Homo-oligomer: A and B are copies of this chain.
Amino acid sequence: MSLTDLSSEDLTQLQTEQRAAYDELVAKGLGLDLTRGKPSQAQLDLSNALLALPGEGQTVDAAGTDVRNYGGTQGLPEIREIFAPLINVPVDQLVAGDNSSLAIMHDTIVYSLLKGTASSEQPWGSGPVKFLCPAPGYDRHFALCEQYGIEMIPVDMFDNGPDLDAITRLVADDPQIKGMWVVPTYANPTGAVYTEQVTQALVSMPTAAPDFRIFWDNAYAVHHLSDTETPALDVLGLAAAAGNPDRVFVFASTSKITYAGSGVSFFAGSPANVSWYLGNLAKRTIGPDKVNHLRHARFLQSPDGVRDLMRKHREIIAPKFEQALAILDERLGKYDAATWTHPLGGYFISLDVLDGTATRVVQLAKEAGIVMTGAGSAYPYGKDPRDRNIRIAPTFPLPEEVSAAIEGLSTCVLLAATEKLLAG
């Protein structure tokens, strides 16, 4: 049974039911927030040993460097050794930074605009700059482009990655296209995983711009929700083998491994890109927070230490995803009224409602005390061309709050759909 096949009488009947359910919902006076991909308190508690680390007397790294003093732009060797295998990059091509990988992305863009990349003849900013933006995607990536006047070209996202035909055509023709956003593993918000075949195509395709860069934000590389623990691809190796060693900037962080905002961020790239990045970084700062690197290295111990920790995260958040998916299936499945993703990792469920109703759904939910990320926020300039996409972030609320929010949201989805269909 599809909503669009219902008779006018049946639709009216359904609307009456959902209106009643909605009135009940509003009466409950909920105050729920599913806006941001934030870890929950229970997840943060997993890393509380950090609060007393590295511990008094722990002042030097494995090489004997005093972590309390200036220097060491590339970051502590021991924290780089833990994360290099997890994101599948050579340890000497990995830089450990401060508390935010978004900040590293910002800075690489700024350096490229003002100085040019290692392959640029001129600074990017000497002419118009465009980025390809697979959408739905991460709103903060798009906000960075908007901030610096970089024109965003949306590209459709499919289950295994973005629209390669469109991408290869666009980059081959337009030398102003200097960059492309990618969240390769458990993409924000769809959960899509870029396959090796897709990745191969992206690092191999001819580009009109010699200084084209893929911003490979592996934010969820180890954030599995199932036993299918997809390993990170050797994207730098693939790019080098394809003859484009400098095409990829890799980013990652511990924001959703340890603490959000007090973790360690990472940059990786070809030797030329690492040298370029560190050269620019050395003008900006005399060194990263090495005490925090030591603190994290002592806490995480090894790549397996990280994997074990991530399984504990999964124990906390996977049930929330399962609950949310079960409620969506129960409430919306029979009407064929929406589609949604079933992610194997990451922090989001991407919900596509009836075309033209996402804004109304988010508004209805808000008035019922359920705050969702604004409709369209996963698209460049906040413009979802079909006004259908809603990002669900189930990690932060308590399990019962997730259930209540998704129940309420489902009511809003059906109510908005019947409104639209009856009006049409």
Residues in A lying within 8 Å of B, measured CB to CB: 36, 38-39, 41, 44, 47-59, 66-72, 98-100, 102-103, 106-107, 110, 113-115, 125, 140, 143-144, 147-148, 255, 259-262, 280, 283-292
Contacts and interface: CB of A to CB of B under 8 A. Distances in A.
A99 B286 CA distance: 10
The number of times this chain is found in the oligomer is 2
B103 A262 contact: no
B100 A285 contact: yes
A260 B70 CA distance: 5
15 contacts: A41-B66, A49-B56, A51-B59, A51-B291, A71-B261, A98-B289, A102-B285, A106-B283, A106-B284, A114-B148, A261-B286, A261-B288, A261-B291, A262-B292, A292-B292
Nearest to A49: B56
B71 A44 contact: no
A262 B66 contact: no
9 closest A-B pairs by beta carbon, nearest first, are A262-B291, A106-B284, A100-B285, A68-B259, A44-B68, A70-B260, A147-B283, A261-B287, A99-B289
A158 to B, nearest CB: 29
B289 A260 contact: no
Given A44-B68, A261-B291, 12 more contacts: A44-B59, A48-B59, A52-B56, A67-B262, A69-B260, A100-B285, A100-B287, A102-B284, A110-B110, A144-B283, A147-B280, A262-B291
B290 A261 contact: yes
B291 A289 contact: no
A54 B36 CA distance: 26
A68 B43 CA distance: 10
A99 B102 contact: no
Contacts of A36: 70
A63 to B, nearest CB: 16
A169 B148 CA distance: 34
A178 to B, nearest CB: 15
Nearest to A36: B70
